[in-house]
Chains A and B, each alone.
Chain A
Amino acid sequence: MTWTTTDFHITTVGVLCAMACALPGTFLLLRRMSMMGDAISHAVLPGLAVAFLISGARTSWWMFFGAAVAGVMTALFTQWISKFGKVDRGASMGIVFTTLFAVGLILIEQGAGNVDLDARCVLYGALELVPLNMVTVFENYEMPRAAIVIGSTLLFNLAVIGFFYKEFTIASFDSGLAETQGFHPRLMHYILMTMVAVTTVAAFEAVGSIIVIAMLIVPPATAFLLTRRLPILILLSLIIAAGSAILGHLTTKAIPVIFGLPETTSSGMMATMTGIIFLLVWLLGPQGLIRRNGTELEEPEEI
Protein backbone atom coordinates (compact mmCIF):
# COMPACT_ATOMS: atom_id res chain seq x y z
CA MET A 1 0.00 0.00 0.00
CA THR A 2 1.54 3.26 -1.05
CA TRP A 3 0.49 6.68 0.11
CA THR A 4 0.44 9.10 -2.81
CA THR A 5 -0.21 12.79 -3.16
CA THR A 6 -3.66 11.83 -4.42
CA ASP A 7 -4.35 10.03 -1.16
CA PHE A 8 -3.15 13.07 0.72
CA HIS A 9 -5.54 15.28 -1.23
CA ILE A 10 -8.50 12.95 -0.78
CA THR A 11 -7.84 12.67 2.95
CA THR A 12 -7.42 16.43 3.32
CA VAL A 13 -10.78 17.09 1.70
CA GLY A 14 -12.38 14.35 3.79
CA VAL A 15 -10.96 15.71 7.04
CA LEU A 16 -11.97 19.30 6.27
CA CYS A 17 -15.42 18.11 5.26
CA ALA A 18 -15.97 16.09 8.42
CA MET A 19 -14.71 18.90 10.65
CA ALA A 20 -16.83 21.55 8.91
CA CYS A 21 -19.90 19.34 9.40
CA ALA A 22 -19.18 18.52 13.05
CA LEU A 23 -19.50 22.18 14.12
CA PRO A 24 -23.13 22.87 13.16
CA GLY A 25 -23.82 19.20 13.87
CA THR A 26 -22.98 19.70 17.53
CA PHE A 27 -25.66 22.34 17.92
CA LEU A 28 -28.19 20.33 15.91
CA LEU A 29 -27.60 17.49 18.33
CA LEU A 30 -27.89 19.70 21.41
CA ARG A 31 -31.12 21.20 20.11
CA ARG A 32 -32.46 17.69 19.57
CA MET A 33 -33.06 18.38 15.93
CA SER A 34 -30.48 16.11 14.34
CA MET A 35 -32.88 15.07 11.61
CA MET A 36 -33.06 18.69 10.50
CA GLY A 37 -29.55 18.07 9.10
CA ASP A 38 -30.96 15.21 7.06
CA ALA A 39 -33.83 17.35 5.84
CA ILE A 40 -31.67 20.30 4.90
CA SER A 41 -28.96 18.28 3.19
CA HIS A 42 -31.63 16.92 0.85
CA ALA A 43 -33.72 20.04 0.52
CA VAL A 44 -30.85 22.22 -0.69
CA LEU A 45 -30.95 20.37 -4.01
CA PRO A 46 -33.56 22.54 -5.78
CA GLY A 47 -31.68 25.62 -4.56
CA LEU A 48 -28.52 24.25 -6.09
CA ALA A 49 -30.24 23.28 -9.33
CA VAL A 50 -31.91 26.65 -9.78
CA ALA A 51 -28.69 28.48 -8.95
CA PHE A 52 -26.87 26.26 -11.43
CA LEU A 53 -29.44 26.88 -14.16
CA ILE A 54 -29.24 30.63 -13.62
CA SER A 55 -25.49 30.99 -13.34
CA GLY A 56 -24.43 28.08 -15.54
CA ALA A 57 -21.40 27.38 -13.40
CA ARG A 58 -21.08 24.55 -10.93
CA THR A 59 -19.27 26.41 -8.25
CA SER A 60 -20.25 29.92 -7.55
CA TRP A 61 -21.59 32.12 -4.85
CA TRP A 62 -24.99 31.54 -6.45
CA MET A 63 -24.95 27.92 -5.41
CA PHE A 64 -24.23 28.78 -1.80
CA PHE A 65 -26.87 31.44 -1.88
CA GLY A 66 -29.43 29.09 -3.47
CA ALA A 67 -28.63 26.43 -0.89
CA ALA A 68 -28.89 28.82 2.02
CA VAL A 69 -32.29 30.01 0.80
CA ALA A 70 -33.49 26.43 0.32
CA GLY A 71 -32.18 25.49 3.77
CA VAL A 72 -33.97 28.30 5.55
CA MET A 73 -37.10 27.56 3.52
CA THR A 74 -37.02 23.95 4.74
CA ALA A 75 -36.96 25.13 8.33
CA LEU A 76 -39.74 27.66 7.67
CA PHE A 77 -41.98 25.25 5.72
CA THR A 78 -41.53 22.56 8.35
CA GLN A 79 -42.69 24.96 11.01
CA TRP A 80 -45.65 26.24 8.99
CA ILE A 81 -46.90 22.83 7.95
CA SER A 82 -46.75 21.46 11.47
CA LYS A 83 -48.46 24.59 12.78
CA PHE A 84 -51.22 25.11 10.22
CA GLY A 85 -51.57 21.56 8.94
CA LYS A 86 -51.63 20.23 12.51
CA VAL A 87 -49.27 17.36 11.75
CA ASP A 88 -46.34 16.56 14.00
CA ARG A 89 -42.91 18.03 13.31
CA GLY A 90 -41.37 14.82 12.06
CA ALA A 91 -44.11 14.23 9.51
CA SER A 92 -44.01 17.81 8.38
CA MET A 93 -40.23 17.61 7.92
CA GLY A 94 -40.73 14.43 5.90
CA ILE A 95 -43.20 16.18 3.63
CA VAL A 96 -40.99 19.21 3.07
CA PHE A 97 -37.59 17.70 2.41
CA THR A 98 -38.71 14.81 0.21
CA THR A 99 -40.77 17.17 -1.93
CA LEU A 100 -37.94 19.66 -2.27
CA PHE A 101 -35.41 16.90 -2.98
CA ALA A 102 -37.66 15.43 -5.67
CA VAL A 103 -38.12 18.83 -7.28
CA GLY A 104 -34.35 19.24 -7.24
CA LEU A 105 -33.80 15.84 -8.88
CA ILE A 106 -36.31 16.64 -11.63
CA LEU A 107 -34.68 20.01 -12.25
CA ILE A 108 -31.27 18.39 -12.53
CA GLU A 109 -32.44 15.59 -14.81
CA GLN A 110 -34.39 17.95 -17.07
CA GLY A 111 -32.38 21.12 -17.06
CA ALA A 112 -28.84 20.06 -16.38
CA GLY A 113 -28.89 16.39 -17.30
CA ASN A 114 -26.11 16.67 -19.82
CA VAL A 115 -23.69 18.57 -17.63
CA ASP A 116 -21.50 17.35 -14.84
CA LEU A 117 -24.11 17.62 -12.09
CA ASP A 118 -25.60 14.17 -12.04
CA ALA A 119 -28.02 12.54 -9.68
CA ARG A 120 -25.76 9.71 -8.55
CA CYS A 121 -23.06 12.12 -7.51
CA VAL A 122 -25.68 14.08 -5.57
CA LEU A 123 -26.36 11.07 -3.38
CA TYR A 124 -22.88 9.73 -2.75
CA GLY A 125 -20.47 12.43 -3.80
CA ALA A 126 -17.26 11.75 -5.65
CA LEU A 127 -14.39 12.09 -3.23
CA GLU A 128 -12.09 10.07 -5.52
CA LEU A 129 -12.52 12.61 -8.30
CA VAL A 130 -11.51 15.54 -6.10
CA PRO A 131 -7.82 15.47 -7.14
CA LEU A 132 -8.85 15.88 -10.80
CA ASN A 133 -9.85 19.46 -10.18
CA MET A 134 -6.78 21.26 -8.91
CA VAL A 135 -6.02 24.92 -8.49
CA THR A 136 -2.70 26.58 -7.83
CA VAL A 137 -2.27 28.59 -4.66
CA PHE A 138 0.75 30.50 -3.37
CA GLU A 139 2.25 30.65 -6.91
CA ASN A 140 3.23 27.01 -7.27
CA TYR A 141 1.45 24.87 -4.67
CA GLU A 142 -1.34 22.73 -6.14
CA MET A 143 -4.44 22.02 -4.09
CA PRO A 144 -7.77 20.39 -4.85
CA ARG A 145 -10.35 23.09 -5.46
CA ALA A 146 -12.72 21.22 -3.13
CA ALA A 147 -10.23 21.61 -0.29
CA ILE A 148 -10.39 25.36 -0.65
CA VAL A 149 -14.20 25.41 -0.79
CA ILE A 150 -14.69 23.15 2.21
CA GLY A 151 -11.74 24.68 4.07
CA SER A 152 -13.28 28.12 3.77
CA THR A 153 -16.57 26.67 5.00
CA LEU A 154 -14.81 25.24 8.03
CA LEU A 155 -13.29 28.64 8.78
CA PHE A 156 -16.68 30.28 8.25
CA ASN A 157 -18.33 27.85 10.67
CA LEU A 158 -15.58 28.35 13.23
CA ALA A 159 -16.01 32.10 12.94
CA VAL A 160 -19.82 31.98 13.28
CA ILE A 161 -19.72 29.68 16.30
CA GLY A 162 -16.84 31.61 17.87
CA PHE A 163 -18.71 34.85 17.33
CA PHE A 164 -22.12 33.65 18.53
CA TYR A 165 -20.90 31.06 21.06
CA LYS A 166 -22.74 32.51 24.02
CA GLU A 167 -25.84 33.31 21.95
CA PHE A 168 -26.03 29.80 20.48
CA THR A 169 -25.59 28.30 23.92
CA ILE A 170 -28.35 30.27 25.61
CA ALA A 171 -30.74 29.89 22.67
CA SER A 172 -30.15 26.13 22.58
CA PHE A 173 -30.39 25.58 26.32
CA ASP A 174 -33.26 27.86 27.29
CA SER A 175 -35.00 29.66 24.46
CA GLY A 176 -37.43 31.31 26.90
CA LEU A 177 -34.61 32.97 28.82
CA ALA A 178 -32.86 33.88 25.56
CA GLU A 179 -36.04 35.56 24.31
CA THR A 180 -36.63 37.54 27.51
CA GLN A 181 -33.01 38.71 27.43
CA GLY A 182 -33.46 39.89 23.85
CA PHE A 183 -31.27 37.28 22.15
CA HIS A 184 -33.86 36.26 19.52
CA PRO A 185 -33.61 32.46 19.62
CA ARG A 186 -35.52 32.25 16.35
CA LEU A 187 -32.84 34.30 14.61
CA MET A 188 -30.17 32.03 16.08
CA HIS A 189 -32.17 29.04 14.79
CA TYR A 190 -32.13 30.38 11.25
CA ILE A 191 -28.44 31.25 11.45
CA LEU A 192 -27.79 27.63 12.40
CA MET A 193 -30.01 26.39 9.57
CA THR A 194 -28.12 28.61 7.11
CA MET A 195 -24.85 27.24 8.43
CA VAL A 196 -26.07 23.66 7.94
CA ALA A 197 -27.25 24.46 4.41
CA VAL A 198 -24.00 26.15 3.38
CA THR A 199 -21.95 23.32 4.89
CA THR A 200 -23.91 20.58 3.16
CA VAL A 201 -23.48 22.35 -0.18
CA ALA A 202 -19.75 22.74 0.35
CA ALA A 203 -19.54 19.06 1.29
CA PHE A 204 -21.84 17.99 -1.55
CA GLU A 205 -19.27 17.44 -4.23
CA ALA A 206 -17.06 15.38 -1.98
CA VAL A 207 -19.47 13.29 0.05
CA GLY A 208 -22.97 13.79 -1.36
CA SER A 209 -26.20 14.45 0.46
CA ILE A 210 -26.48 11.21 2.44
CA ILE A 211 -22.98 10.64 3.77
CA VAL A 212 -22.95 14.26 4.93
CA ILE A 213 -25.63 13.39 7.50
CA ALA A 214 -23.25 10.93 9.14
CA MET A 215 -20.62 13.65 9.32
CA LEU A 216 -23.07 16.15 10.81
CA ILE A 217 -24.41 13.91 13.52
CA VAL A 218 -22.21 10.94 14.42
CA PRO A 219 -19.02 12.71 15.62
CA PRO A 220 -20.97 15.05 17.97
CA ALA A 221 -23.11 12.14 19.17
CA THR A 222 -19.92 10.19 19.92
CA ALA A 223 -18.35 13.13 21.72
CA PHE A 224 -21.53 13.48 23.78
CA LEU A 225 -20.87 10.02 25.20
CA LEU A 226 -17.51 11.25 26.45
CA THR A 227 -18.09 14.67 27.97
CA ARG A 228 -20.65 17.07 29.40
CA ARG A 229 -18.59 20.22 28.83
CA LEU A 230 -19.55 22.20 25.77
CA PRO A 231 -16.09 23.47 24.69
CA ILE A 232 -14.63 19.98 25.11
CA LEU A 233 -17.63 18.51 23.31
CA ILE A 234 -16.95 20.72 20.29
CA LEU A 235 -13.22 19.95 20.35
CA LEU A 236 -13.81 16.20 20.65
CA SER A 237 -16.35 16.29 17.80
CA LEU A 238 -13.71 17.90 15.60
CA ILE A 239 -11.08 15.34 16.57
CA ILE A 240 -13.42 12.38 16.08
CA ALA A 241 -14.54 13.81 12.73
CA ALA A 242 -10.97 14.21 11.50
CA GLY A 243 -9.99 10.80 12.86
CA SER A 244 -12.89 9.06 11.10
CA ALA A 245 -11.97 10.70 7.82
CA ILE A 246 -8.32 9.64 8.04
CA LEU A 247 -9.17 6.10 9.17
CA GLY A 248 -11.86 5.97 6.50
CA HIS A 249 -9.44 6.59 3.68
CA LEU A 250 -6.79 4.32 5.18
CA THR A 251 -9.23 1.42 5.36
CA THR A 252 -10.45 2.17 1.85
CA LYS A 253 -6.89 1.59 0.70
CA ALA A 254 -6.19 -1.32 3.01
CA ILE A 255 -9.31 -3.44 2.66
CA PRO A 256 -8.97 -4.26 -1.06
CA VAL A 257 -5.32 -5.15 -0.50
CA ILE A 258 -5.93 -7.32 2.56
CA PHE A 259 -9.07 -9.09 1.46
CA GLY A 260 -8.55 -8.97 -2.29
CA LEU A 261 -11.79 -7.07 -2.76
CA PRO A 262 -12.60 -4.51 -5.43
CA GLU A 263 -12.11 -0.79 -4.78
CA THR A 264 -14.48 0.80 -2.31
CA THR A 265 -15.50 4.43 -1.86
CA SER A 266 -13.66 6.67 0.54
CA SER A 267 -16.67 8.75 1.57
CA GLY A 268 -18.59 5.58 2.35
CA MET A 269 -15.72 4.26 4.44
CA MET A 270 -15.40 7.59 6.28
CA ALA A 271 -19.07 7.45 7.26
CA THR A 272 -18.71 3.80 8.25
CA MET A 273 -15.76 4.78 10.45
CA THR A 274 -17.83 7.39 12.29
CA GLY A 275 -20.31 4.61 13.02
CA ILE A 276 -17.64 2.18 14.19
CA ILE A 277 -16.02 4.79 16.44
CA PHE A 278 -19.43 5.58 17.92
CA LEU A 279 -19.99 1.90 18.60
CA LEU A 280 -16.59 1.50 20.26
CA VAL A 281 -17.08 4.55 22.46
CA TRP A 282 -20.56 3.42 23.36
CA LEU A 283 -19.21 0.03 24.39
CA LEU A 284 -15.92 1.05 26.01
CA GLY A 285 -16.29 4.71 26.99
CA PRO A 286 -16.67 6.05 30.54
CA GLN A 287 -20.47 5.95 30.28
CA GLY A 288 -20.21 2.91 28.04
CA LEU A 289 -22.17 -0.32 28.16
CA ILE A 290 -19.34 -2.36 29.62
CA ARG A 291 -18.36 -0.09 32.47
CA ARG A 292 -21.93 0.79 33.29
CA ASN A 293 -22.68 -2.84 34.09
CA GLY A 294 -21.52 -3.27 37.63
CA THR A 295 -21.09 0.31 38.72
CA GLU A 296 -24.37 2.14 38.75
CA LEU A 297 -24.31 5.90 38.17
CA GLU A 298 -24.13 7.66 41.49
CA GLU A 299 -27.31 9.31 42.65
CA PRO A 300 -27.16 13.07 42.97
CA GLU A 301 -27.02 13.89 46.65
CA GLU A 302 -29.69 15.92 48.38
CA ILE A 303 -28.79 18.82 50.58
Chain B
Amino acid sequence: MRPEHPPEYPLAVHDLTVAYHRKPVLWDLDLNVPEGKLAGIVGPNGAGKSTLLKACLDLIPKTSGEVLIYGKPYEEQRDLIAYVPQRESVDWDFPVSALDVVTMGTYRKLGWFKRVGRQQKQQAHEALEQVGIGHLADRQISQLSGGQQQRVFLARALVQDAEIYFMDEPFAAVDAATEQAIIELLQNLNARGKTVLCVHHDLATVSRYFDHLILLNMRIVASGPTPETFTRENLQKTYGGKLNLLDDVAEALKNVGR
Protein backbone atom coordinates (compact mmCIF):
# COMPACT_ATOMS: atom_id res chain seq x y z
CA MET B 1 0.00 0.00 0.00
CA ARG B 2 1.37 3.37 -0.98
CA PRO B 3 0.46 6.23 1.33
CA GLU B 4 0.39 8.77 -1.51
CA HIS B 5 -2.20 6.67 -3.37
CA PRO B 6 -4.88 5.73 -0.84
CA PRO B 7 -7.34 3.01 -1.93
CA GLU B 8 -10.38 5.29 -2.03
CA TYR B 9 -9.16 6.64 -5.37
CA PRO B 10 -10.74 4.80 -8.30
CA LEU B 11 -7.57 5.37 -10.31
CA ALA B 12 -4.08 5.97 -8.98
CA VAL B 13 -1.05 6.04 -11.25
CA HIS B 14 2.41 5.80 -9.74
CA ASP B 15 5.67 6.64 -11.53
CA LEU B 16 4.28 5.51 -14.87
CA THR B 17 6.60 5.61 -17.87
CA VAL B 18 5.67 4.26 -21.28
CA ALA B 19 7.98 4.19 -24.30
CA TYR B 20 7.59 3.20 -27.94
CA HIS B 21 10.84 2.15 -29.60
CA ARG B 22 12.85 3.62 -26.73
CA LYS B 23 11.20 7.03 -27.10
CA PRO B 24 9.20 7.95 -24.01
CA VAL B 25 5.55 8.82 -24.63
CA LEU B 26 4.64 9.16 -20.98
CA TRP B 27 7.28 10.17 -18.50
CA ASP B 28 7.07 9.48 -14.79
CA LEU B 29 3.37 10.12 -14.29
CA ASP B 30 1.83 10.43 -10.87
CA LEU B 31 -1.90 10.84 -10.69
CA ASN B 32 -4.87 10.39 -8.39
CA VAL B 33 -8.38 10.61 -9.79
CA PRO B 34 -11.02 11.12 -7.08
CA GLU B 35 -14.23 9.09 -7.02
CA GLY B 36 -17.36 10.25 -8.81
CA LYS B 37 -15.64 12.70 -11.11
CA LEU B 38 -16.29 13.36 -14.75
CA ALA B 39 -12.67 13.85 -15.69
CA GLY B 40 -11.32 15.15 -18.99
CA ILE B 41 -7.85 14.26 -20.23
CA VAL B 42 -6.69 17.10 -22.42
CA GLY B 43 -3.47 17.82 -24.27
CA PRO B 44 -2.02 18.35 -27.74
CA ASN B 45 -1.74 15.62 -30.38
CA GLY B 46 0.88 13.07 -29.42
CA ALA B 47 0.72 14.05 -25.76
CA GLY B 48 0.03 10.44 -24.79
CA LYS B 49 -3.64 10.72 -23.86
CA SER B 50 -4.75 7.46 -25.46
CA THR B 51 -1.52 5.85 -24.35
CA LEU B 52 -2.33 6.74 -20.76
CA LEU B 53 -5.70 4.97 -20.98
CA LYS B 54 -4.20 1.94 -22.69
CA ALA B 55 -1.34 1.67 -20.22
CA CYS B 56 -3.80 1.79 -17.32
CA LEU B 57 -5.71 -1.10 -18.89
CA ASP B 58 -2.61 -3.19 -19.67
CA LEU B 59 -3.29 -2.89 -23.39
CA ILE B 60 0.26 -1.72 -23.96
CA PRO B 61 3.31 -2.60 -21.86
CA LYS B 62 4.46 -0.20 -19.19
CA THR B 63 8.17 0.59 -19.15
CA SER B 64 7.89 1.19 -15.43
CA GLY B 65 5.36 2.19 -12.83
CA GLU B 66 2.16 0.95 -11.37
CA VAL B 67 -1.57 1.49 -11.80
CA LEU B 68 -4.01 0.93 -8.96
CA ILE B 69 -7.77 0.64 -9.27
CA TYR B 70 -9.29 1.29 -5.83
CA GLY B 71 -5.93 0.40 -4.32
CA LYS B 72 -5.55 -2.91 -6.11
CA PRO B 73 -3.80 -3.94 -9.33
CA TYR B 74 -5.93 -3.70 -12.45
CA GLU B 75 -5.79 -7.47 -12.96
CA GLU B 76 -7.94 -8.00 -9.86
CA GLN B 77 -10.37 -5.19 -10.68
CA ARG B 78 -11.41 -5.89 -14.26
CA ASP B 79 -15.06 -6.13 -13.25
CA LEU B 80 -15.07 -2.47 -12.23
CA ILE B 81 -13.94 -1.16 -15.60
CA ALA B 82 -15.53 -0.38 -18.93
CA TYR B 83 -13.42 0.73 -21.89
CA VAL B 84 -14.62 2.61 -24.94
CA PRO B 85 -11.84 2.59 -27.53
CA GLN B 86 -11.52 5.10 -30.35
CA ARG B 87 -14.09 4.47 -32.99
CA GLU B 88 -11.49 3.93 -35.72
CA SER B 89 -9.82 1.16 -33.73
CA VAL B 90 -12.27 -1.48 -34.95
CA ASP B 91 -13.37 -2.77 -38.34
CA TRP B 92 -16.91 -1.48 -38.95
CA ASP B 93 -17.30 -3.90 -41.84
CA PHE B 94 -17.27 -6.78 -39.37
CA PRO B 95 -20.35 -8.99 -39.86
CA VAL B 96 -22.21 -8.17 -36.64
CA SER B 97 -25.28 -6.09 -35.83
CA ALA B 98 -25.50 -3.14 -33.43
CA LEU B 99 -27.14 -5.46 -30.90
CA ASP B 100 -24.31 -8.01 -31.24
CA VAL B 101 -21.71 -5.34 -30.47
CA VAL B 102 -23.58 -4.11 -27.41
CA THR B 103 -24.04 -7.69 -26.22
CA MET B 104 -20.22 -8.01 -26.17
CA GLY B 105 -20.34 -5.80 -23.09
CA THR B 106 -21.99 -8.64 -21.17
CA TYR B 107 -19.32 -11.22 -22.02
CA ARG B 108 -17.25 -10.54 -18.93
CA LYS B 109 -20.09 -11.34 -16.55
CA LEU B 110 -21.12 -14.25 -18.75
CA GLY B 111 -17.67 -15.80 -18.59
CA TRP B 112 -15.87 -18.22 -20.91
CA PHE B 113 -17.82 -20.65 -23.13
CA LYS B 114 -21.28 -19.60 -21.92
CA ARG B 115 -23.66 -18.60 -24.69
CA VAL B 116 -25.43 -15.30 -25.04
CA GLY B 117 -29.01 -15.74 -23.84
CA ARG B 118 -32.22 -13.79 -23.74
CA GLN B 119 -31.17 -11.89 -20.63
CA GLN B 120 -28.01 -10.51 -22.27
CA LYS B 121 -29.94 -9.51 -25.39
CA GLN B 122 -32.55 -7.82 -23.22
CA GLN B 123 -29.84 -5.81 -21.44
CA ALA B 124 -28.30 -4.84 -24.77
CA HIS B 125 -31.68 -3.72 -26.10
CA GLU B 126 -32.28 -1.54 -23.06
CA ALA B 127 -28.85 0.07 -23.44
CA LEU B 128 -29.51 0.82 -27.10
CA GLU B 129 -32.83 2.42 -26.12
CA GLN B 130 -30.98 4.48 -23.54
CA VAL B 131 -28.63 5.92 -26.15
CA GLY B 132 -31.58 6.57 -28.45
CA ILE B 133 -31.00 4.04 -31.21
CA GLY B 134 -33.14 1.09 -30.09
CA HIS B 135 -34.74 0.98 -33.52
CA LEU B 136 -31.35 0.26 -35.13
CA ALA B 137 -30.59 -2.88 -33.08
CA ASP B 138 -30.61 -5.22 -36.07
CA ARG B 139 -28.63 -2.97 -38.39
CA GLN B 140 -25.31 -4.25 -39.59
CA ILE B 141 -22.75 -1.90 -38.07
CA SER B 142 -21.39 -0.59 -41.39
CA GLN B 143 -24.91 0.72 -42.09
CA LEU B 144 -24.67 3.13 -39.14
CA SER B 145 -23.48 6.73 -39.27
CA GLY B 146 -20.44 7.78 -37.27
CA GLY B 147 -22.58 9.18 -34.48
CA GLN B 148 -24.67 6.03 -34.32
CA GLN B 149 -21.54 3.89 -34.18
CA GLN B 150 -20.30 5.94 -31.25
CA ARG B 151 -23.66 5.45 -29.52
CA VAL B 152 -23.32 1.69 -30.03
CA PHE B 153 -19.96 1.83 -28.27
CA LEU B 154 -21.48 3.81 -25.41
CA ALA B 155 -24.36 1.37 -25.09
CA ARG B 156 -21.81 -1.42 -24.86
CA ALA B 157 -20.05 0.40 -22.03
CA LEU B 158 -23.40 0.85 -20.27
CA VAL B 159 -24.19 -2.87 -20.21
CA GLN B 160 -20.79 -3.49 -18.66
CA ASP B 161 -22.24 -1.75 -15.62
CA ALA B 162 -18.83 -0.64 -14.38
CA GLU B 163 -17.62 1.75 -11.70
CA ILE B 164 -14.95 3.43 -13.83
CA TYR B 165 -15.41 4.28 -17.50
CA PHE B 166 -12.35 4.82 -19.71
CA MET B 167 -13.38 6.63 -22.87
CA ASP B 168 -11.06 7.41 -25.74
CA GLU B 169 -12.37 10.44 -27.64
CA PRO B 170 -16.09 9.64 -27.60
CA PHE B 171 -16.81 13.06 -29.09
CA ALA B 172 -14.49 12.70 -32.08
CA ALA B 173 -16.26 13.34 -35.39
CA VAL B 174 -19.85 12.96 -34.17
CA ASP B 175 -22.83 15.12 -35.04
CA ALA B 176 -24.09 17.76 -32.59
CA ALA B 177 -27.11 15.68 -31.53
CA THR B 178 -24.89 12.73 -30.68
CA GLU B 179 -22.46 14.94 -28.78
CA GLN B 180 -25.35 16.24 -26.70
CA ALA B 181 -26.68 12.70 -26.12
CA ILE B 182 -23.25 11.47 -25.07
CA ILE B 183 -22.63 14.26 -22.59
CA GLU B 184 -26.05 13.74 -21.03
CA LEU B 185 -25.26 10.08 -20.68
CA LEU B 186 -21.89 10.79 -19.06
CA GLN B 187 -23.49 13.25 -16.67
CA ASN B 188 -26.08 10.64 -15.85
CA LEU B 189 -23.36 8.10 -15.02
CA ASN B 190 -21.62 10.76 -13.00
CA ALA B 191 -24.81 11.51 -11.05
CA ARG B 192 -24.95 7.82 -10.12
CA GLY B 193 -21.49 8.13 -8.54
CA LYS B 194 -19.50 6.53 -11.34
CA THR B 195 -16.10 7.82 -12.31
CA VAL B 196 -15.57 8.72 -15.96
CA LEU B 197 -12.24 9.41 -17.64
CA CYS B 198 -12.56 10.88 -21.04
CA VAL B 199 -9.90 11.81 -23.59
CA HIS B 200 -11.06 15.06 -25.10
CA HIS B 201 -9.93 17.40 -27.86
CA ASP B 202 -12.20 20.37 -27.92
CA LEU B 203 -10.96 23.05 -25.53
CA ALA B 204 -14.11 25.11 -26.05
CA THR B 205 -16.29 22.56 -24.23
CA VAL B 206 -13.89 21.48 -21.48
CA SER B 207 -15.27 23.59 -18.67
CA ARG B 208 -18.87 22.81 -19.60
CA TYR B 209 -18.38 19.05 -19.78
CA PHE B 210 -15.90 18.12 -17.07
CA ASP B 211 -15.68 18.83 -13.35
CA HIS B 212 -12.15 17.43 -13.14
CA LEU B 213 -9.31 18.03 -15.55
CA ILE B 214 -6.01 16.35 -16.33
CA LEU B 215 -3.71 18.36 -18.57
CA LEU B 216 -1.21 16.07 -20.21
CA ASN B 217 1.82 16.48 -22.39
CA MET B 218 4.08 13.52 -21.82
CA ARG B 219 3.96 14.55 -18.17
CA ILE B 220 1.05 15.69 -16.06
CA VAL B 221 1.06 19.45 -16.43
CA ALA B 222 -1.80 19.96 -14.02
CA SER B 223 -4.56 17.88 -12.51
CA GLY B 224 -7.49 18.91 -10.33
CA PRO B 225 -10.96 20.45 -10.32
CA THR B 226 -11.62 22.16 -13.65
CA PRO B 227 -12.11 25.74 -12.31
CA GLU B 228 -8.64 25.78 -10.76
CA THR B 229 -6.91 23.76 -13.46
CA PHE B 230 -8.29 25.25 -16.66
CA THR B 231 -6.18 28.42 -16.67
CA ARG B 232 -4.27 30.27 -19.36
CA GLU B 233 -0.96 29.55 -17.66
CA ASN B 234 -1.60 25.80 -17.46
CA LEU B 235 -2.81 25.62 -21.03
CA GLN B 236 0.25 27.49 -22.22
CA LYS B 237 2.41 24.97 -20.40
CA THR B 238 0.47 22.10 -21.92
CA TYR B 239 0.35 23.31 -25.50
CA GLY B 240 3.79 24.94 -25.43
CA GLY B 241 4.77 27.02 -28.43
CA LYS B 242 1.96 25.86 -30.67
CA LEU B 243 0.82 29.38 -31.43
CA ASN B 244 -2.14 28.69 -33.64
CA LEU B 245 -3.51 26.51 -30.90
CA LEU B 246 -2.96 29.24 -28.36
CA ASP B 247 -5.43 31.35 -30.26
CA ASP B 248 -7.97 28.59 -29.77
CA VAL B 249 -7.06 28.58 -26.12
CA ALA B 250 -7.67 32.28 -25.87
CA GLU B 251 -11.01 31.76 -27.56
CA ALA B 252 -11.89 28.95 -25.20
CA LEU B 253 -11.02 31.00 -22.15
CA LYS B 254 -13.01 33.93 -23.44
CA ASN B 255 -16.03 31.65 -23.78
CA VAL B 256 -15.95 30.79 -20.11
CA GLY B 257 -15.33 34.38 -19.12
CA ARG B 258 -11.95 33.95 -17.53
A303 near B177 (CB under 8 angstroms)?
yes
Interface 9-residue window, one of A139-147, A202-210, A221-229, A268-276: A221-229
Q: Give the complex CA separation of A224 and B140 in angstroms.
A: 13
Q: For window 149-192 of chain A, which residues contact chain B by CB distance below 8 Å?
A: 163-167, 169-170, 172-174, 176-177, 179-183
Distance in Å from the Cβ of B41 to the closest Cβ of chain A?
17
Selected from A164, A172, A302, the residue in CB contact (under 8 A) with B94 is A172
Instruction: Decide: B95 and A233 in contact? CB cutoff 8 A.
Output: yes
Give the total number of A-B pairs whose CB atoms are below 8 A apart.
Answer: 87
Chain A residue at minimal CB-CB distance from B111: A182
Contact A302 B59 (CB under 8 A): no
Contact B91 A173 (CB under 8 A): yes
Can you list 30 residue pairs at the A/B interface with Cβ under 8 Å? A30-B91, A30-B95, A86-B21, A166-B114, A167-B113, A173-B91, A174-B89, A174-B90, A176-B54, A176-B57, A176-B85, A177-B85, A177-B104, A179-B58, A179-B59, A180-B83, A181-B107, A181-B108, A183-B107, A224-B95, A229-B95, A230-B95, A300-B143, A300-B145, A301-B145, A302-B145, A303-B132, A303-B133, A303-B145, A303-B178
In whole angstroms, how far apart are the Cα atoms of A230 and B94 in the complex?
A: 8
Q: Which 3 A-B pairs have the closest CB atoms?
A: A228-B140, A181-B108, A228-B95
A32 within 8 Å of B (CB atoms): yes
Task: Give the chain B neighbours of A182 by CB distance below 8 A.
Answer: 78, 108
B142 interface residue (CB < 8 Å to A): yes
Is A166 touching B57 in the complex (CB atoms < 8 A)? Answer: no
| B229 proximal to A (CB < 8 A) | no
Known: A173-B96, A182-B78; 12 extra A-B contacts, CB below 8 A, are A30-B91, A164-B113, A169-B100, A172-B94, A173-B91, A176-B57, A230-B95, A230-B100, A300-B148, A302-B175, A303-B148, A303-B177
List the B residue with the shortest CB-CB distance to A227: B95
In contact, A229 and B83 (Cβ under 8 angstroms): no
Q: How far is the CA of A224 from the CA of B144 in the complex (A)?
A: 18
Please give, as numbers and ranges, the residues of chain A lying within 8 Å of B115 by CB-CB distance. 165-166
- Tell me the chain B residues, 126-167 only, with Cβ under 8 Å from chain A: 132-133, 140, 142-145, 147-148, 156
Contact A176 B113 (CB under 8 A): no
Chain B interface size, as a band, is 35 or more
A173 to B94, CA, bound (A): 7
Interface residues in A246-293 by Cβ distance below 8 A to B read: none
Residues of chain A whose beta carbon lies under 8 Å from any beta carbon of chain B:
30, 32, 86, 163-167, 169-170, 172-174, 176-177, 179-183, 224, 227-230, 233, 300-303
Q: How far, in Å, is A132 (CB) from chain B's closest CB?
A: 41
Q: Mark B70-113, 1 if CB is under 8 A from A, else 0.
A: 00000000100111010001110111110011001101101011
Q: Which of A86, A164, A167, A300 has the most CB of B within 10 A?
A: A300
Q: Give the distance to chain B from A117, nearest Cβ to Cβ, in Å.
A: 38
State A300–B139 Cα separation when bound (angstroms). 10
Q: Which of A164, A173, A176, A180 has the most CB of B within 10 A?
A: A180
| Contact between chains at A166 and B107 (CB < 8 Å) | yes
Give Cα A265–Cα B85 distance, bound, in whole angstroms.
49
- A113–chain B nearest beta-carbon distance, Å: 45
Between A86, A165, A229, the greatest number of chain B beta carbons within 10 A of the residue's beta carbon is seen for A229
Known: A166-B107, A166-B115. A174 touches B85 (CB 8 A): yes
**Given A177-B83, A182-B78: A32 in contact with B133 (beta carbons within 8 A):** no
Cα separation A179 to B93 with both chains bound (whole Å): 21
What mask results when residues 200 to 219 of chain B are scored 1 for a CB within 8 Å of chain A, else 0?
Answer: 00000000000000000000
Q: A180 contacts B90, CB within 8 Å?
A: no
Q: Does B173 belong to the interface (CB within 8 Å)?
A: no
